[in-house]
Amino acid sequence: MTVLLTVVILLPLIAAGLLMAVPQLDGRSATWVWVAASAADLALVGWMWWRFEPGTGASGVVGGIGYETDVQWIPTVDAGYHVGVDGLSLPLIALTAVLFLACAVWSLRQPDRPRLQAALFLFLETACLGTFASLDLILFFVFFDLTIVGMYFVIAGWGHGNARRSALKFFLYTFVGSLALLLGFIGLFLGSDTRTFDMVTLAQDPPLAGQPVAGGLVLLAIGLGLAIKTPVFPFHTWLPDAHTDAPAAGSAILAGILLKLGTYGFVRIAMPILPDAWQRWALVPVVIGVISVLWGALAALAQTDLKRMIAYTSVNHMGYVLLGLGAAGMVAADTGARTLATIGAVYQMVAHGLLTGALFLLTGVLWSRGRTYAFDKWGGLARPAPVFAALLAVAAFGALGLPGFASFVAEFQVFTGALQASPVATVIAVVGILVTAGLFLVALQRLLAGPTVVPDDDPEQDDEPSTDGGSTTLVRARTGSLRDMSAAELVAVVPLLALAIVLGLFPRALLDVIEPAARTVAELVAR
């Protein structure tokens, strides 16, 4: 069944090609093709998960690679189509399939060029799946760059406000980061004895071992490229604008999936392939992680716009991931603590994808009804829209790390694993949880409590107009009613929150998959 993973990767792209080849399809039919293709892909990923046995398979980067395919591509540099899954990549591949299906269902309400939008999102899904499945650095780089192209057109084509400017800013920042990443990959190739881009081979025989200067420079290049994509402080400045002006589905994919390409690159490439350099410089990601936690939370607290606030919380949550991965490289940590911190970081990627994806889709409800995310334009929404209010409250409580949600399991493991290696940094990072709790509670109070207030231009249709390159029209606040969530909106959001609760109450289903791979990464870093 080695071909199964390739089918999972390419199925959305094939569906996108069919959509573009049949222009006679009406808009709603095209969106249903998107829904069907994403559902089929999720079913195949579910089958892969069911058949996957953690800890078995080829040795190398992690404790076991399944569904592996290795075909020669560029023989002169030993680069190939090498894909496979393990306990690090399979959860993120599953998250990708779930979130893209949710966005497809959400977009049943989207009347603006649905066929082109469906094809673009399907292309983007293939790029994301390919990045998580890649076991070759050049293949990883190709898919990584394709995600940048896909998201640029999503923001520019279906965003609002100053969407074209935000899309360009996103593209330039992340493309510069990808160039730094490519330089780092070339450094790994030149520093290896076997002259290869294969991740498994490089992890078995790490390049630049015993060369602290060269190893540090290569890690700097790779780390810069991944930090911009994640993003963490101070490379996060493209994120708020991109999120604010992106359509709801675009923001959900940007936060839920694309940010994970950066953090995944740290645990897949930087840690196992440059273990000496990662140990030597582990304090840097710890410090940057803690600063990101605090800065993201405090910046979010200062926002007057719901979507921009949620965007800054992503900087906060990705800081926890970097804290855990940095702590896993600290000399003071034993293997158990390294493993626990790595598990928590991967778990946090999944939890953040589900909860923040749901939050951004919920902000789309506000935009479709009132064309604004401003707190002062909304109020008392618990009365006219109780279902929306309940789901927003659940998503907010999950994002702040309340027990019973996946985020609590993730943060608990990150803090427990990091405490031994860097107690001061860990204690400081805990303050971020308090600020996050405060900002979400304030947001809920502003939106849901008090007299009912909705924007003056409450549109009749649930749509998100394409960008005109200008600024969002100012609206006046008035008392009135608000249509509650539609069936498509509910079907898109509820499963994401349900999964976050299931993984919070029954974490073993995911922990059993992650743990063997995380343990192997921890051992590779400690060697």
Q: Please compute, for residue 218, the number of CA atoms within 13 A of its CA located in the half-sphere on the CB side.
A: 27
- Phi and psi at 464, nearest 5°, equal -125, 105
- CA 90 to chain CA centroid, nearest Å: 14
Tell if the pTM clears 0.85, that is, is over it.
yes
Could you say which DSSP state residue 460 is in?
Answer: S
d(CA 145, CA 130) in angstroms, rounded, equals 11
Domain residue spans in the chain?
A: 3-458+470-526
d(CA 436, CA 448) in angstroms, rounded, equals 18
Digit-coded pLDDT (tens) for 245-294:
899 999 999 999 999 999 999 999 999 999 999 999 999 999 999 999 99
d(CA 286, CA 281) in angstroms, rounded, equals 9
**Please, are residues 495 and 375 in contact by the beta-carbon 8 Å criterion?**
no
The pLDDT value recorded for residue 63 is 47
**Please, are residues 307 and 243 in contact by the beta-carbon 8 Å criterion?**
yes
The pLDDT value recorded for residue 55 is 65
The pLDDT value recorded for residue 500 is 96
If you search the block for the tokens 């003071």, which residue do you land on? 332
The pLDDT value recorded for residue 473 is 37
- Phi and psi at 402, nearest 5°, equal -70, 140
The pLDDT value recorded for residue 392 is 95
> Which residues of the chain register pLDDT less than 70?
1, 55-63, 110-111, 331-333, 456-481, 527
